[in-house]
Amino acid sequence: MVDPRIMCRNHLLGEHSEIHLFVWNIDAGHSVRGYIDKGLLEIHNLYDRHEDLARELRRRGYRHNSELDAKWKMAKKEGSIDRQKSLRALIGRCAKCRERYKRFAVTRNVV
């Protein structure tokens, strides 16, 4: 749930794959309760988040042809991610994301 523009290639592609994996798992009837309880998943934002990541992937010239089913726009509200905590964790453990964040923060106000 970090601004996709500050994410390094690996993290951008990684989170994008995770979304498809979550959707696949939920459709298959598998429980994602653990992720919701740990504050790692917002069911109601899967669609919009996927759109944001896909847009950034295309902007960087990567091919993207894995759209989410439109039914995810209507997903029930469930789960909550602390965006500030996510940002701190990401730039705390990834030098590339940290570098992008620093460069980005010079010109924009990143939340």
Residue 20, amino acid? H
- Helices 95-107, 83-93: crossing angle, 10 deg rounding: 120
- Based on DSSP, count helices (H) and strands (E) in the chain, helices before strands: 5, 0
Instruction: Compute the distance between CA of residue 46 and CA of residue 16 in angstroms, rounded to an integer.
Output: 10
Interface residue with Zn ion among 81, 96, 104, 110 (CB under 5 A) is: 96
Q: Nearest approach, Cβ of 91 to Zn ion (angstroms)?
A: 8
Closest separation between CB of residue 2 and Zn ion, Å? 9
**Listed ranges 30-38, 39-47, 64-72, 73-81: which one lies at the site for Zn ion (CB under 5 A):** 64-72
Rounded CA gap, 107 and 100, in Å? 11
Nearer to Zn ion (CB atom), residue 25 or residue 66: 66
What is the nearest approach in angstroms of Zn ion to the Cβ of residue 6? Answer: 9
Q: Single out the segment in contact with Zn ion by CB under 5 A; choices: 27-35, 40-48, 74-82, 88-96.
A: 88-96
Minimal distance in Å, beta carbon 38 to Zn ion?
20
Query: Which structure tokens are listed for 71?
Result: 């039914």
The residue among 38, 47, 50 whose CA lies nearest residue 76 is 47
Binding site for Zn ion (CB under 5 A): 8, 11, 66, 94, 96-97
